[in-house]
Amino acid sequence: MRDAAPQTIYLKDYTPFGWRIDSVDLQFTLDPHKTRVRSRIAFSPDADAPAQEFFLHGEMLKLISACIDGEDVAPRITPEGLTCEVPEGAFIWETEVEIDPAGNTALEGLYMSNGMYCTQCEADGFRKITYYPDRPDVMSVFTVTIEGAHPVLLSNGNPVTTAMHRAEWHDPWPKPAYLFALVAGDLVAHHDTFTTVGGRKVDLNLYVRPGDEGKCAFGMQALKASMKWDEDVYGREYDLDLFNIVAVDDFNMGAMENKGLNIFNSSAVLASQETSTDTNFERIEAIIAHEYFHNWTGNRITCRDWFQLCLKEGLTVFRDSQFTADMRSAPVKRIEDVLDLRARQFAEDQGPLAHPVRPESFQEINNFYTATIYEKGAEVIRMLKTLVGDAAYSEAVTLYFERHDGQACTIEDWLKVFEDTTGRDLTQFKRWYSQAGTPRLSVTEEWSGDTLTLIFTQSLAPTTATPAPLPQVIPVAVGLIGADGTEVAATRILELTEATQSFTFDGLAARPVASVLRGFSAPVVLDHAADHDHLLAHDTDEFNRWEAGRTLARSCLIAMITAGARPDPAYLRGIRAALSDNGLDPAYRRLLLALPSQSELATALHDAGHVPEPDIIHAAVEALRDAQAKSLADLLPALYAEHQVTAPYAPDAAQSSQRALGNAVLALLSRSDGGTLAQAQYDSADNMTQQLAALANLIRAGRGDAALKAFEAQWRHDRLVMDKWFGLQVIEADPEEAHEIAAILTKHPDFNWKNPNRFRAVFGALAMHHAGFHHASGAGYRLLADWLIKLDPLNPQTTARMCSVFQTWKRYDTDRQAMIQAQVARILATPGLSRDTTEMLTRIAAA
């Protein structure tokens, strides 16, 4: 067992491993509790590395034997690994260890899920399989032999030999241990092929449990679309003869990009019309693309150390965002990305878990798979592309692939290819990687004669990670809209480099309305007293038009919460006009109709000096939704009818967009008809999107009991649909009852709390129910703490990630602060608490 309070690891202390690995041969003899792993590793000294003790990571391993060049040795064993005296020159290291996959409930290393063997090795899982330098900068070629009484035996690379209960695999591409994968079980393959641009025929397989064969077609379609897109847009061709995906029920993350053998959480790959919503389909498409794109940005070129995690994740998130924008609606995708960034990453930046995109230190790397690394990391890539332009971006990325193929790289390597390509000095831009926090950008305007001057001031609040922040490079996209709604100045990129900077627009016939930060060109908080009514009506930038509506809705709600104001008629008129514009994408109109989340409002209130009251926020949101329903009552029936899809179901952008707006309209109609239309939609639904939307509205209308029972009876056999059933009851609950419903659901016979998907279905939904989780009694805090204490000994990774729901505790009233602090302290006092959870809660408590 690892130390629950380990020493901090620092980027500045990086030291290369002292040996190279020329080849790795692994042999597995599978057994649920006594799997034997034999390793044969060829080491040779690295003359460029400093002298050091020979150390191999290893945890929860029973060493059977160890030898060097055929001679037995007696290494010194510690809970973290082993050390041993080794020859000065090259040598062959061999060990045999025994591991217990069935007892590995942490789901890291080799473990079992419903009788299937599978692995998860990122970040530190391989050390639970055998003794090895488990670090990303140690790369080698792997040959793997698997023996076991299972019809399917898989590993990385290409198959060498296959026989009854035995298979040999060879991966010709050097990789770090975190990309190792093994799967064995009774599985069925959905097969297809893809021919690369260079003429290579690639066999594609999506392996699933028997009974899930009907949920594979869309995942395979998404994989082939990803392969084609990466060739067309980035010039990246697949490099093996085989690409396998395996669906696994018990998985801590969404998916893992292991070379040639991607392992997916079942929820991230299995889909059908009857069991999956349009949102599920889009998520699956994006995750499959993300993991496939890692083949080059993560596998062929990996990160030197875990401090560089954003190098592979930020770049690959940006690439999958580009892919989804091309497959679906670019404006809708951009808005959805920003909503997610603000909800998760901005909250992270503003609280005790704030850290730079490239951290300077960590204790448990699993706690740094964060929105900052992934989503903010992607925004940094997007800004870089904006600054250098599309052509230079393409040229630089091509150089990156050519220069660093087969290497473990750093942020400096990434930025250097842009400097070499463009001649730019990116020293100041690099601060985006080293400074924590979300910059605030204030804009004031001056009008004189025919000239508009925009004065920008950037600021960044000090944090523990960045106590003395410096000005950053901020690309700001700006356009100008005339009084008649025409665009009088097209989008121009202003490059901010100083704390305060001015830009002028000359030769204007009349004062225009400035549309600032178009396309959300930088991840900042914008303070700009613009004419949002005018922008909502006329902005030609679709993101900023939506942003204007969002700003008006937020201002309206804050006035209702803090001053008892009535819903703003001007806002309602603006939304009515946009909703009536049939030239706009229905999915985009659905986003215009949506209100800010209650958590977003709590943050806005706190930033404005108010103490957010969750129950009052909830009441105001409900009141504004009622006002929307009333003011749009004459439009809604026709809108609903117009957006019912009569063609055979397809999860494409066109149909999904229609259903998105239709179901948003249904939610408003259900406020006046008591759920009558929702019941009709539920009864006639032939797809999960329509059925689940109707069920949600029936619950809100107080008519959900019968439908919930019918839904359970219909879908109890389907684990992924039942996750929806569990989560929906909590997220749609009255705030007074949310924690009680969650508690009741934990007693349901199908509540398998050891399964991450099911645990998150209930407690992730409770955490998202702002007024319910933050109930004045503190019952939501206590319930979650009870279950985190229970889960931590079995699955520290899922436990630690769920703890992040406590990070905003300081924005609430003193009573709620005290109750959250008490639960955090109670969890921290638990004997044997994992270091994952200990680190997370210690950081939160220290805020």
Max Cα distance, the chain (Å): 89
Query: Does residue 402 carry a catalytic annotation?
Result: no
- Residue pair 160/102 in contact (Cβ under 8 Å)? The answer is no
Nearest to 772 by CA among 788, 786, 783: 783
φ, ψ at 478 (rounded to 5°): -130, 135
Strands 201-208 and 35-45 turn out to be unpaired
Mind giving me the DSSP string for 203-221? Answer: EEEEEE-TT-GGG-HHHHH
CA dihedral 807, 108, 85, 77 (to 10 degrees): 80
* Contact between residue 452 and residue 432 where contact means Cβ atoms under 8 Å apart: no
Q: Output DSSP code: residue 636.
A: H
Separation between Cα atoms, residue 148 and residue 642, nearest integer Å: 57
Residue type, 721: V
CA 481 – CA 488 distance, rounded (Å): 6
The structure tokens 């008629």 sit at 569
d(CA 596, CA 460): 24
Q: Report the alpha-carbon distance of residue 179 to residue 171 in Å, rounded.
A: 11
Pairing label, strands 62-68, 91-99: antiparallel
Q: Taking Cα atoms as reference points, which of 213, 180, 214, 179 lies closest to residue 303?
A: 179
> Within 10 Å of residue 611's Cβ, how many Cβ atoms?
12
Percent of residues in the chain assigned helix, strand, coil, to nearest 5: 45, 20, 35
Q: How far apart are CA 321 and CA 341, in angstroms?
A: 13
Q: Residues 52, 15: contact at Cβ < 8 Å?
A: yes
Q: What region does 719 belong to: left with phi over 0, alpha with psi -120 to 50, or beta?
A: alpha
Q: From the centroid of its chain, how far is CA 584? A: 28
Spatial separation of the C-alpha atoms in residues 179 and 196, rounded to whole Å = 23
Select which of 291, 348, 600, 839 is catalytic.
291
Rounded distance between C-alpha atoms, residue 168 and residue 151, angstroms = 14
* Residue 474 · residue 457 · CB < 8 Å: no
Euclidean distance between CA atoms 758 and 749, whole angstroms: 12
Instruction: Please give the positions annotated as active site.
Output: 291
